Structure 1
Amino acid sequence: MKKSLRLLSAVAVIASSALLAFNANAVQLRGSHKENHVACKSCHTQGMQHAGTTEGCLSCHQSYDAVRALTEKNHPDLEVNPHMDGHLGELDCTDCHHMHKASEVVCNECHQFDFVAP
């Protein structure tokens, strides 16, 4: 009986470990976060069920001004910097940028700018 319980316990531990490993690998990062091997917990600071927030983004990306400057540096040919204060104000980073699915350009709901949100 004790042997059976130990065996069942071992099987349960192995199965739960395999399930956790599968779940952690089931969702892939995209873009520069993937390229830079950013850990999931870097953005999911309140647990895996909670998405990243602008505050979380700015903990690495410093400030909205720094993001604007980086955009200008990396994309000098853009007609408009999407991170400039427009008539919508400073949007949440996650309004446009998604780490596990395709990002979107919220501005293009009304405009037709020629840029892509990574």
Structure 2
Amino acid sequence: MRLLRIVALGLAGALAAGLGAAEEQRTLPAPHTKAKLICHDCHQKEKPTSAAVPDEACMVCHGDYPAMKALTKDAKPNPHGSPHDPILCTECHRQHKPPVVKCLECHEGKFTFKIK
């Protein structure tokens, strides 16, 4: 029942944000669903009307920028060790759309990352 609520709230948020039909169908990634997150947990609003999520909402569970840089320290190059820090979490990790590697917009072909 809770999963149905999460999906319903996610769809309502997507519709309110004016997202495309394919994106309206996208549910949260499995770890967020398993954690029983609801829209408010990330959007910090009862009825979000946009896809905007403050980085602080990510940091509650995932840690701050230095923590993420330390967590991914063995990746070469470290995706969280950008000289352009801080890059907003949602620039790459987009929950209702496929993730992107923001670095590749300027550094095409120089990095190989799989975003989790």
Aligned twin of 2:81: 84
- After TM superposition, give the deviation of residue 92 of structure 1 in Å: 0.8
- After TM superposition, give the deviation of residue 30 of structure 1 in Å: 1.7
CA distance in 2, matches of 1:49, 1:96: 21
Aligned twin of 1:24: 9
TM-score, length of structure 2 as denominator length: 0.66
Provide structure 1 residue ranges, at least 5 long, that are not aligned to the other structure.
1-19
- After TM superposition, give the deviation of residue 79 of structure 1 in Å: 1.4
Letter in 1 for 2:49: Q
Aligned twin of 1:38: 37
Q: Which has the larger radius of gyration?
A: 1
- After TM superposition, give the deviation of residue 22 of structure 1 in Å: 7.1
Provide structure 2 residue ranges, at least 5 long, that are not aligned to the other structure.
12-25
- After TM superposition, give the deviation of residue 21 of structure 1 in Å: 8.3
CA distance in 2, matches of 1:25, 1:105: 23
Equivalent residues in 2 for 1:64-75, closer than 5 Å: 64-72=65-73
**Is the contact between residue 54 and residue 93 of structure 1 (CA under 8 Å) also seen in structure 2?**
yes
CA distance in 2, matches of 1:21, 1:63: 25
Distance 1:98 1:21, change over 3 A: closer
Question: Which has the larger share of helix?
Answer: 1
Aligned twin of 1:98: 94
CA displacement 1:37-65 (0-9 Å, x = unmatched): 32221101023214211121112222111
**Is the contact between residue 6 and residue 38 of structure 2 (CA under 8 Å) also seen in structure 1?**
no
